[in-house]
């Protein structure tokens, strides 16, 4: 007799949405989260406002959590680590460890929603000095500041005169080994640029880029307004290195459309770090024996027409565990994975 | 006046070298004193961009995302180094557009706006920024003179107002003047400054008078009561002057009874259909090509003589791109027996600019310092490439511009004719 539940691993946006949709169609869910709270990276990494609509991350994720937390069909397992798995589609037996005890839980299908982690700029091949200069920060650091409602120069607590974002930090780089585009950094930088301008209208904000990659709502809700309404200055040409000069940072690169070198002082430099496969994603891939791509994200063999199926029947993937995703893509994948998993259970029961 | 390059925040790549230089008794002439201009960008000052964006009409400059579609179609860039994208970038870098020479190079030809995905609108930006430069007294001298002449004489040629209808004497037909005939007419013909005063403009005006007479058009002109339309002065930054002229002209238009207005020039057409309505004048206006194309059935039998020539047509920016009329002039040319109409590569929506719009008519020497050749010279070369014998025009700015350009480029055999002159020639032989 096949198991009648789906195990969703990861309590971030993808996992929460998949769990909610499964419960909505009457399928039992075991939602496993290694942290002690639901909400995933937006909560763990102190995101301020989510796209679109600039709604508070806490409120948005809170609403998603509320839809599953008291749902009788969703068995939420917080602080639980997956330590082993055996079996096959319709009959997985997954060992969950929690507080020193372990338990084997059956599942008919599994959805991996284990997400990403931010690129560590210490691995950057450029000379950005993230661990040397207090005023060089990442998008995630900036989110934390924005969540507190202020954006000040970390070294002296003053309102910065000039802030710039450097795109593609840790992405699209053969030397680092991440040739892929992280998809959201252009948009998140532009979103933060708008937020900085709103907090401090005297601050001049620049974005240095290789290509701006923003489609859909990123283009219309973020990029155009950033430029046209919030006076964010976009300059084509990436910064090669950052040099400390007095109490400011000197950014060095080329202004490519002018064909001239630039050495411009900045107060805060925000590194637009990309996405890498999270530890959870790497571990679950190995534990469940699903193939990974060369970047250690979970491989989706037929990504165009079957965007949530992994190399193992009965195991699906949703969200950034399969590679960089924005919220739109993540939520869409969660829906597809939920239907795939529920459909599998139904077929096995009828058979 | 434009800031000297040495004082600009962002310097061009310029090598400076004094041929003769002695410093403290030491002769360091020639390469010994060679200096290179600053090359690296040390600062970005988007305040200047913000300054433009705060002007009414200047908002869209900062919308540019640098696609550079404008550069390929900018008629100035084809003979120089200038385009809206470049202006946006330079301003973003900190160049002060309000005092830069770049401010006066745009002819408001509208080809950039035609292709711009962001609708960065130089037709609004240029007059808005130029108006501030005019108020600050930063205007090239030759343009300033045209402004002053217009204010003083009612026309940018600096000719006496009382001589505005002097051209009618030798038209060969009577030209009715409203103040004399004292009766309602069907057509009020607004002649315009260049057809009234410029020797080659007058040729077109007289041709028009003969054509109207032959067609039996019931019309009148304002004569000495007519003043320059002021639209090009407005686009060159003299909004106050424009409003003054418009007020006088509208008063003159309203003091007579007429059914519709016909204008000789596209700039006047643009003024009366798009700008004067904002000041309360809203009556039907036609460019003469539209009026005559409407009367083609009556006109055709009058065109008895062959004008055997390979003819190409230059679309005026303010008739074509600005107001969408491409067909009427062509219909007239094709009605002339013997004419073989050939299109140049840059025609219709992508027509090249003669350089006379947006104040360019009065910035010839200034613009020449920033371009490898005049826009008019680039255009006659294109006409010559297509082996045209006649370059046909229908904007009073163009005849003299292109005739000068034909001479200066060694294309003396290329004749420049207003369509009115060609019709008249076919009519009279």
What is the per-residue pLDDT across A89-121, written as a single tens digit (0 to 9) for each? 999 999 999 999 999 999 999 999 999 999 999
Q: Cβ A231–B63 below 8 Å, yes or no? A: no
Task: Check pLDDT > 60 for residue A294.
Answer: yes
Q: Cβ B62–A212 below 8 Å, yes or no? A: no
C-alpha to C-alpha distance for B298 and B294, rounded to whole angstroms: 9
Question: pLDDT band at residue B32, thresholds of 50, 70 and 90?
Answer: confident
Distance from CA of A228 to the nearest CA of B (A): 5
Asked if B358 and B267 touch (Cβ cutoff 8 Å), the reply is no
How many CA atoms does the CB half-sphere of A135 hold within 13 Å? 27
Task: Check pLDDT > 60 for residue B403.
Answer: yes
Mean pLDDT of chain B: 95
**Facing residue for B41 by CB, picked from A212, A224, A260:** A260
Under CATH, to which class is B141-294 assigned? Answer: alpha beta
Asked if A169 and A271 touch (Cβ cutoff 8 Å), the reply is yes
Strand partners, B23: B26
Q: Which pLDDT belongs to residue B14? A: 61
Task: Check pLDDT > 60 for residue A330.
Answer: yes
Backbone angles phi, psi at A204, to 5 degrees: -90, 130
C-alpha to C-alpha distance for A320 and A282, rounded to whole angstroms: 12
**pLDDT tens digits along B163-194:** 999 999 999 999 999 999 999 999 999 999 99
| pLDDT, mean of residues B413-419 | 98
**Facing residue for B41 by CB, picked from A212, A234, A261:** A261
Q: Which fold has domain A119-274?
A: FAD/NAD(P)-binding domain (3.50.50)
Task: Check pLDDT > 50 for residue B10.
Answer: no
Q: Cβ B39–A261 below 8 Å, yes or no? A: yes
Q: Which pLDDT belongs to residue B348? A: 97
Asked if B196 and B226 touch (Cβ cutoff 8 Å), the reply is yes
Q: Which of B45, B92, B94, B117 to mutate to test the interface with A (most CBs of A within 10 A)?
A: B92
Mean pLDDT of chain A: 95
| pLDDT, mean of residues B393-408 | 97
- ipTM, two decimals, is 0.85
Measured CA distances, A30 to A3, A13, A80, A279 (Å): 12, 16, 11, 21
Adjacency order of strands within the sheet including B309-313: B339-342, B309-313, B390-393, B415-418
**pLDDT tens digits along B133-152:** 999 999 999 999 999 999 99
Range from A159-163, B21-25, B46-50 that averages highest in pLDDT:
A159-163
Cα–Cα nearest to B87, from B79, B73, B78, B104: B104
**Facing residue for B41 by CB, picked from A204, A224, A262:** A262
Q: Which pLDDT belongs to residue B4? A: 53
Considering the segment(s) B300-428 as one domain, its CATH architecture is 3-Layer(aba) Sandwich (3.40)
Q: Cβ B89–A260 below 8 Å, yes or no? A: no
Lowest mean pLDDT across A45-54, A131-140, A284-293, B32-41: B32-41
Give the number of A-B residue pairs with CB atoms closer than 8 Å. 50
| pLDDT, mean of residues A2-27 | 96
Strand partners, A98: A101
Task: Check pLDDT > 90 for residue A2.
Answer: no
Question: Could you tell me the residue ranges of all domains in chain B?
Answer: 5-36, 47-135, 141-294, 300-428
pLDDT cut 70: percent of chain B above it? 96
pLDDT cut 90: percent of chain A above it? 93
Question: pLDDT band at residue B18, thresholds of 50, 70 and 90?
Answer: confident
Which residue matches tokens 């910065």? A160
Angle between helices A139-147 and A185-199 (to 10 degrees): 40
Instruction: Tell me the chain B residues in contact with residue A197 when contact means C-beta distances shorter than 8 Å.
Output: none
Chain centroid offset of residue B22 CA: 48
CB neighbourhood size of A296 (10 A) = 16
Instruction: Tell me the chain A residues in contact with residue B13 when contact means C-beta distances shorter than 8 Å.
Output: 260
Give yes or no for A243 touching B (CB within 8 A). no
Q: Cβ B44–A235 below 8 Å, yes or no? A: yes
Q: Which pLDDT belongs to residue B423? A: 98
Asked if B305 and B426 touch (Cβ cutoff 8 Å), the reply is yes
**Facing residue for B66 by CB, picked from A206, A257, A263:** A257
Closest A-chain CA to B58: A228
**Facing residue for A258 by CB, picked from B41, B53, B63:** B41
Distance from CA of B45 to the nearest CA of A (A): 9
Instruction: Tell me the chain A residues in contact with residue B44 when contact means C-beta distances shorter than 8 Å.
Output: 204, 206, 233, 235, 264
**Facing residue for A258 by CB, picked from B50, B53, B93:** B93
Chain centroid offset of residue B95 CA: 26
| pLDDT, mean of residues A223-239 | 95
Q: Which of A201, A206, A223, A260 to mutate to test the interface with B (most CBs of B within 10 A)?
A: A260
Asked if B294 and B300 touch (Cβ cutoff 8 Å), the reply is no
Closest B-chain CA to A260: B40
Measured CA distances, B342 to A35, B382, B423 (Å): 76, 12, 17
Instruction: Tell me the chain B residues in contact with residue A214 when contact means C-beta distances shorter than 8 Å.
Output: none
Instruction: Tell me the chain B residues in contact with residue A227 when contact means C-beta distances shorter than 8 Å.
Output: 62-63, 65
Q: Which of A190, A228, A236, A266 to mutate to test the interface with B (most CBs of B within 10 A)?
A: A228
Q: Which fold has domain A5-115+278-350?
A: FAD/NAD(P)-binding domain (3.50.50)
Q: Which pLDDT belongs to residue B35? A: 78
Task: Check pLDDT > 80 for residue B100.
Answer: yes
**HEC profile for B287-352?**
EHHHHHHHCHHHHHHHCCCCCCEEEEECCCCCCCCCCCCCHHHHHHHHHCCCEEEECCCCCHHHCC
Q: Which of B8, B9, B36, B44 to mutate to test the interface with A (most CBs of A within 10 A)?
A: B44
Instruction: Tell me the chain B residues in contact with residue A234 when contact means C-beta distances shorter than 8 Å.
Output: 65-66
Q: Which pLDDT belongs to residue B7? A: 52
**Facing residue for A260 by CB, picked from B39, B46, B50:** B39
**pLDDT tens digits along B369-385:** 999 999 999 999 999 99
Question: pLDDT band at residue B77, thresholds of 50, 70 and 90?
Answer: very high
C-alpha to C-alpha distance for B377 and A71, rounded to whole angstroms: 79
Asked if B402 and B376 touch (Cβ cutoff 8 Å), the reply is yes
Q: Which pLDDT belongs to residue B98? A: 96
CB neighbourhood size of B283 (10 A) = 16
Task: Check pLDDT > 80 for residue B15.
Answer: no
Instruction: Tell me the chain A residues in contact with residue B41 when contact means C-beta distances shorter than 8 Å.
Output: 255, 258, 260-264
**Kind of pairing between the strands at A136-138 and B185-190:** unpaired
Q: Cβ B44–A204 below 8 Å, yes or no? A: yes
**Facing residue for B63 by CB, picked from A228, A261, A264:** A228
**Facing residue for A236 by CB, picked from B41, B44, B66:** B66
Closest A-chain CA to B117: A224
Q: Which two tokens stand for residue A140?
A: 């995630």
In sequence order, which ranges of chain A are alpha helices (DSSP H)? 13-24, 41-44, 57-69, 139-147, 185-199, 217, 224-228, 279-288, 327-350
Cα–Cα nearest to B62, from B44, B46, B45: B46
Residues 6+ apart with CB under 8 A from B217: B186, B187
| pLDDT, mean of residues A32-52 | 95
Task: Check pLDDT > 70 for residue B331.
Answer: yes
For chain B, list residues whose CB is within 8 angstroms of any CB belonging to chain A.
13, 39-44, 46, 49-50, 53, 62-63, 65-66, 85, 89, 92-93
CB neighbourhood size of B55 (10 A) = 17
CATH 3.50.50.60 placement within chain A: 5-115+278-350, 119-274
Task: Check pLDDT > 80 for residue B332.
Answer: yes
Closest B-chain CA to A256: B89
Q: Which pLDDT belongs to residue B2? A: 53
């Amino acid at each position: 007799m096949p198991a009648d539940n789906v195990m969703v691993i990861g309590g971030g946006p993808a996992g929460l949405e998949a769990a909610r949709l499964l419960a909505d169609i009457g399928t039992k869910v075991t939602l496993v989260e290694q942290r002690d709270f639901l909400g995933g990276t937006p909560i763990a990494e102190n995101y301020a406002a989510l796209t679109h609509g600039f709604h508070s991350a806490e409120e948005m994720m809170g609403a998603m959590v509320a839809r599953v937390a008291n749902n009788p069909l969703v068995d939420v397992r917080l602080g639980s680590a997956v330590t082993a798995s055996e079996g096959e589609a319709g009959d997985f037996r997954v060992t969950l460890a929690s507080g020193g005890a372990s338990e084997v839980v059956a599942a008919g299908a599994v959805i991996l929603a284990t997400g990403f982690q931010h690129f560590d700029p210490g691995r950057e091949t450029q000379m950005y000095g993230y661990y040397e200069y207090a005023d060089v920060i990442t998008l995630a650091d900036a989110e934390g500041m924005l969540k507190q409602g202020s954006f000040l120069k970390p070294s002296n607590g003053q309102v910065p005169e000039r802030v710039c974002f450097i795109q593609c930090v840790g992405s699209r780089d053969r030397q680092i080994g991440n040739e892929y585009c992280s998809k959201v950094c252009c948009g998140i930088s532009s979103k933060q640029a708008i937020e900085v301008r709103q907090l401090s209208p005297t601050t001049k904000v620049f974005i240095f880029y290789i290509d701006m990659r923003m489609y859909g709502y990123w283009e219309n809700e973020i990029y155009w307004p950033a430029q046209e309404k919030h006076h964010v200055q976009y300059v084509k040409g990436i910064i090669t290195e950052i040099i400390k000069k007095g109490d400011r940072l000197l950014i060095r690169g080329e202004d490519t459309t002018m064909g001239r070198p630039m050495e411009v002082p900045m107060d805060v430099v925000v590194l637009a770090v990309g996405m890498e496969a999270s530890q959870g994603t790497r571990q679950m891939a190995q534990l469940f024996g699903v193939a990974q791509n060369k970047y250690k994200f979970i491989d989706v063999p037929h990504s165009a027409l079957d965007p949530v199926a992994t190399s193992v029947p009965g195991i699906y993937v949703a969200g950034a565990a399969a590679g960089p995703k924005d919220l739109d893509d993540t939520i869409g994948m969660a829906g597809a994975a939920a239907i795939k998993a529920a459909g599998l259970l139904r077929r096995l029961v009828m058979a | 006046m434009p800031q000297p390059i040495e004082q600009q925040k962002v310097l061009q790549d310029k090598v400076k070298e004094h041929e003769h230089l002695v410093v403290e008794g030491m002769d360091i002439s020639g390469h010994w004193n060679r200096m290179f201009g600053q090359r690296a960008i040390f600062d970005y000052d988007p305040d200047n961009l913000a300054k433009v964006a705060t002007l009414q009409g200047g908002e869209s400059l900062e919308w540019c995302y640098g696609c550079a579609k404008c550069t390929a179609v900018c008629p100035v860039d084809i003979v120089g180094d200038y385009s809206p994208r470049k202006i946006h970038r330079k301003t973003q870098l900190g160049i002060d557009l309000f005092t830069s020479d770049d401010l006066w190079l745009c002819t408001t030809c509208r080809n950039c706006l035609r292709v711009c995905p962001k609708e960065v609108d130089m037709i609004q930006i240029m007059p808005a920024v130029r108006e501030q430069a005019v108020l600050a007294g930063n205007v090239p001298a030759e343009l300033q003179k045209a402004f002053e002449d217009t204010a003083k004489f009612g026309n940018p040629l600096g000719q006496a107002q009382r001589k505005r209808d002097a051209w009618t004497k030798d038209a060969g037909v009577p030209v009715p003047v409203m103040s004399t005939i004292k009766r309602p007419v069907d057509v009020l013909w607004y002649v315009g400054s260049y057809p009234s005063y410029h020797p080659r403009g007058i040729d077109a005006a007289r041709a028009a008078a003969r054509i109207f007479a032959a067609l039996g058009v019931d019309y009148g002109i304002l004569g000495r009561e007519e003043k320059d339309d002021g639209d090009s002065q407005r686009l060159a930054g003299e909004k106050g002057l424009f409003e003054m002229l418009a007020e006088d002209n509208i008063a003159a238009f309203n003091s007579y009874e007429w059914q519709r207005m016909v204008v000789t020039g596209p700039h006047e057409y643009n003024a009366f259909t798009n700008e004067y309505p904002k000041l309360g004048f809203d009556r039907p206006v036609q460019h003469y090509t539209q009026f005559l194309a409407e009367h083609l059935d009556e006109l055709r039998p009058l065109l008895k003589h062959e004008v055997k020539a390979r003819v190409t047509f230059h679309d005026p920016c303010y008739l074509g791109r600005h107001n969408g009329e491409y067909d009427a002039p062509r219909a007239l040319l094709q009605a002339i027996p013997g004419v073989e109409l050939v299109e140049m590569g840059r025609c219709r929506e992508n027509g090249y600019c003669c350089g006379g719009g947006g104040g360019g008519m009065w910035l010839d020497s200034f613009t020449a310092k920033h371009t490898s050749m005049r826009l008019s010279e680039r255009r006659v070369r294109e006409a010559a490439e297509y082996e045209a014998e006649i370059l046909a025009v229908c904007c009073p700015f163009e005849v003299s511009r292109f005739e000068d350009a034909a001479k200066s480029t060694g294309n003396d055999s290329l004749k420049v004719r207003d369509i009115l002159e060609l019709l008249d020639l076919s009519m009279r032989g």
